[in-house]
Amino acid sequence: MPSFDEFVALVAPALGVAPGDLGPHRRLGADIPVDELSLSQLVLAIQELNSYFDLPDQLDLEDVTVADLHHFCTVMGPGHQERWSRAT
């Protein structure tokens, strides 16, 4: 899985921002403008790294940080949706 800096370099173009604008504590929506198209492009870019990646339904996009996205990219694997559903 990519380091945080590698992750940022890959997802920044999907969000239409420079990698330097994506610090770990920057939040989607609140700090980084996100519309449906850029969100779809973001998910597709992350899925190139990890085909199991998906944003958990429980997350409020206004509170998801770039560090959160990197974390989910690195930990999601086969069966994560099923485990996530049982936990809630």
Please, are residues 73 and 53 in contact by the beta-carbon 8 Å criterion?
Answer: yes
Residue 72 C-alpha from the chain's centroid: 7
- Mean pLDDT over 24-42 rounds to 90
For the cut 70, the answer to whether the pLDDT of residue 86 exceeds it is: no
Owning domain of residue 12: 4-87
Looking at the predicted structure, is the pLDDT value of residue 80 above 60?
no
- The three-point CA angle 76-78-83 to 5° equals 75
Averaged pLDDT of the chain = 83
- Neighbouring CB atoms inside 10 A of 68's CB total 17
Please report, for the domain that includes residue 46, its CATH number: 1.10.1200
Query: According to the model, what pLDDT value does residue 83 have?
Result: 47
Q: What is the spatial distance between Cα 46 and Cα 11, in angstroms, rounded to a whole number?
A: 7
Domain count, the chain: 1
Q: What pLDDT sits at residue 32?
A: 92
pTM (global) more than 0.85: no
Of 14-18, 31-35, 57-61, 74-78, where does mean pLDDT reach its minimum?
57-61
